[in-house]
Every structure is written in C-alpha cells, then in structure tokens.
Structure 1
C-alpha cells in the first residue's frame, strides 16, 4: 500500500534544486499571485454597497438621430446613381418615386372626394336656392302668402311718456 500511495503523490524536489535562481523566481511569482488573491478577497469582503433603488431614466420627448439622412429623406433607395452611371439603380429609383407620387395623389383624391349622399344633400339645398333666384318678385310674394301662416306685424317700440307720479 505504501508503494501505491507514493506513486500518486508528487515527487518532492530537493533542497538544492529549490534554491536555484529559476526555481526561486517561479516560487516568488506564485507567492505574489497568492498575496494578490488574498488582497482582492479582503477588498471584496470589505466593500459594501448602498441598497438604493435604481435610478429610472427619464424618457426624453425628443428623438436624437446621429445623422441628418432621415431629416433630408435620403435613405429611401439605399444605393443611388446619377447621370447614367448605374442605369438599373436609376430605373429602380424612378419606379419607387413614381409609386410614392401615386400614393400621395390617391391620398389627395380621397380627401377631396365627395360621397354620393353629400352630393345629393348639396343638390337638394341648391335647387331651392337657385329656384328662388329666378322667381319674379310678384310670384315670390304670392307663394309666401299661400304657404306661410299669417305673419304678425311687429310693432315698433315707441317712446312712452313718464307718468306724473314719478316726479
């Protein structure tokens, strides 16, 4: 048993071998590493932190962009070409621009379009208004008398003389 246990254990270095310069350097490095670990451990144990709630970042009402490309609307095509340098890209640019202008035109038409019901309501009010314009004064008076109830004449307010009792 003693022979088996001695085979697993590391062989011990002799005293003279340990005193050699290269062995002393490695031993010193190991000692420095251990000291550094101990020092770091002591710092970690001594270190304390406040239990404060985390600060919440207030959301800004402004959006920050690092580039002016979005403001100038330059990012719409990705690659760009001018003066016939790359005709395929110029064709794509024209197609995209045409689609955008078509969408904008459709939006404008939707805003300006009048529905059938609105048109009928407007037509009903216009028929009476325009019809009244071309009716002669005599006919207008007769139609008012026939259709309208008798109109009560409004008396003008007149000056009332104060009574003698007030003086």
Structure 2
C-alpha cells in the first residue's frame, strides 16, 4: 500500500469510495487539507499563533508588515556612519512609558466628561424648548 509523507499507510481511492468508508474518506481529506495548509503558511505563523496563547499581535508601525527600511541609506562607502547603522537590525520594541502616553490628566478628563454630560443633558431636556406662537388666520384688509 502507498504511504504518505509521515510514513502512515494510505488507503486507495477505490476503497475510500465504498459506502462504509465515507467517514474515513472525509477524515483522510481533512488531514490532507490540514497538511497542505500548514506547509503553505508555516513561514507566516509564529509559535505563539500555533499555541494560541496570543490572540492579537500589536505592532506600533506598519513598516515591518510592508518590509520597509527605516531611515537613511548609503551605498558604496559614501557615508560610512550610515552604513554601520544599516547593518544593525532595525526592528526593536519601543519601551512604553505610561506617563508619556497621557496628554490629558485623569482629573481634567473627569471634569471635561462631567461638563460634557451636563451640556448634552441641556440639549435634550424638553423644558427649555421655546413655545411656538399659534398661527392665526388673518383676514385680508378691505380697501
């Protein structure tokens, strides 16, 4: 009998076409598709993705996704300092500073949201709507 890549025995097509072998056929097809998918995307899937530990990957810049080069370039020894910098790997995680992320302090944000809530409440309150005058029919003046 023929064997697949993993050394496992493979059933022939005629045996798999038999009525009582339908489940085995579906299982064999699913295994083949899984193997094809894993070989196709093996270079794009990280270990964290395979173990399903990390659902999301956060990247601050789109540069690694587009395979772009950051900064200045130099070729042929025109600018040796830049060429030294080009040899250093560019992708380093940036440290996160929580104080630097805040543009508005928590107290200011709380005060702003309170006044905003009051403003919105005033807008939608029914008591401040102005009363409309009732329109009356005016008779034309006789001349």
Larger proportion of helix: 1
Higher CA-based Rg? 1
Report which structure shows greater RCO (CA 8 Å, sep ≥6).
2
TM-score under structure 1 length normalisation = 0.23
